[in-house]
Amino acid sequence: MRRTSNLAVNTRFSQRTGVLFPAPGSAVRFARDWDNPVDRDAVGIYLPDVPVPLGWLYRKDANRPVVLAALDAGKTVDGRLIAAASKPKVEFWL
């Protein structure tokens, strides 16, 4: 099933990685962000081969429980960035 969520952008991403914010259509992967001190169930959105999250799913995102369940079951969750007028979004399939 195709799903879309807003991306809570990591404002320090470029500073920490030296990588500019990617263009819409860029591939992303979802993984638990165990290093997040604010949210123990944080779902990080990562670029391939970059260990710092580009951003996170919002805590109140309706898709977050389904993503957490899939990740906890060992499934891989991949997606892509999509353009949005006000905020970046991620599109993925579960």
Q: How far apart are CA 40 and CA 72, in angstroms?
A: 13
Here the CATH number for the domain that contains residue 57 is: 3.30.70.2330
Give residue for tokens 């991949």: 78
Average pLDDT in the 73-92 region?
91
Counting residues of the chain whose pLDDT is more than 90, the rounded percentage is 84
Residues of the domain holding 51: 2-93
User: Where do the DSSP E strands lie in 15-67?
Assistant: 27-32, 43-46, 55-57
pLDDT at 83 over 90: no
Asked if 70 contacts 1 with a C-beta cutoff of 8 angstroms, the reply is no
Is residue 84 very low, low, confident or very high in pLDDT (cuts 50, 70, 90)?
confident
Average pLDDT in the 62-76 region?
97
Average pLDDT in the 71-87 region?
90
Q: How many domains does the chain have?
A: 1
SS3 helix, strand, coil % of the chain, rounded to 5? Answer: 15, 35, 50
